[in-house]
Structure 1
Amino acid sequence: MLLKYRLDQLHTRARNNRWMQYFTTFTRLVLAVGFLFPGYVKIIGERFTDLHNNQPMGRYLEALYHTGYYYTFIGYAQIFAALLLLIPRTVALGSLLYLAIIFNILILSLAVRFEGSLLTAPLMVIACLYLLCWHYERIKFILPFNTPPVVTTAPDKKFPIKFFALVLATFLTVGFTVTHIFNLMPRNTLSDCETQCDDSENPAACKIFCESIHNKGVYLDEALKRYEHSVKTQSNAND
Structure 2
Amino acid sequence: MKTFERFYRNAKANRWYWLFALFCRVSLSIGFIASGMVKILGERFASGLSANHPMGAYLEALHHTGYYYTFIGVAQVIAAILLLIPRTVALGALLYFPIIVNITVLSFAVRFDGSFVSAPLMVLACLYLLFWNYDSLKYILPFKKHENKTIALKPARYSLRFPFGFAAAVIAMIAVVILFFAYGHDVMPRNDFKNCMAQFQQTEYEMIGKEFCECVHKKGEPLDICLGVFETAIP
Return the TM-score normalized by structure 1.
0.92
Which residue does 1:59 correspond to in 2?
57
Q: How many residues align?
A: 229
Which residue does 1:137 correspond to in 2?
135
Q: Counterparts in 2 of 1:141-152, with a 5 A limit?
A: 141-146=139-144, 147-150=146-149
Name the CA distance, whole Å, in 2 between partners of 1:199 and 1:76.
46
Name the CA distance, whole Å, in 1 between partners of 2:85 and 2:39.
23
Name the CA distance, whole Å, in 2 between partners of 1:32 and 1:46.
20
Which residue does 1:194 correspond to in 2?
197
Name the CA distance, whole Å, in 2 between partners of 1:155 and 1:65.
47
Displacement after TM superposition at 1:180 (Å): 1.3
Name the CA distance, whole Å, in 2 between partners of 1:74 and 1:139.
25
Which residue does 1:14 correspond to in 2?
11
Name the CA distance, whole Å, in 1 between partners of 2:31 and 2:102.
15
Q: Is the 8 A contact 1:200 1:206 kept in 2?
A: no
The 10-residue stretch of structure 1 (199-208 or 112-121) with the greater mean CA deviation from structure 2: 199-208
Verify: 1:180 aligned to 2:177, yes or no.
no
Query: Counterpart amino acid of 2:184?
Result: I
Q: 1:44 aligns with which of 24, 41, 44?
A: 41
Give percent identity, aligned residues only.
48
Query: Counterpart amino acid of 1:182?
Result: H
Please give the per-residue CA displacement for 1:125-147, whole angstroms capped at 9, x wherever unaligned: 01111100011111111223223
Please give the per-residue CA displacement for 1:163-184, whole angstroms capped at 9, x wherever unaligned: 1111111111111123211110
Which residue does 1:208 correspond to in 2?
211
Q: Is the 8 A contact 1:54 1:214 kept in 2?
A: yes
Q: Counterparts in 2 of 1:112-127, with a 5 A limit?
A: 112-127=110-125
Name the CA distance, whole Å, in 2 between partners of 1:183 and 1:98.
31
Please give the per-residue CA displacement for 1:39-95, whole angstroms capped at 9, x wherever unaligned: 001001011112111011100000000000000000000000000000011111111
List alignment gaps of at least 5 residues for structure 1: none
Query: Counterpart amino acid of 1:148?
Result: E
Name the CA distance, whole Å, in 2 between partners of 1:182 and 1:199.
18
List alignment gaps of at least 5 residues for structure 2: none
Which residue does 1:28 correspond to in 2?
25
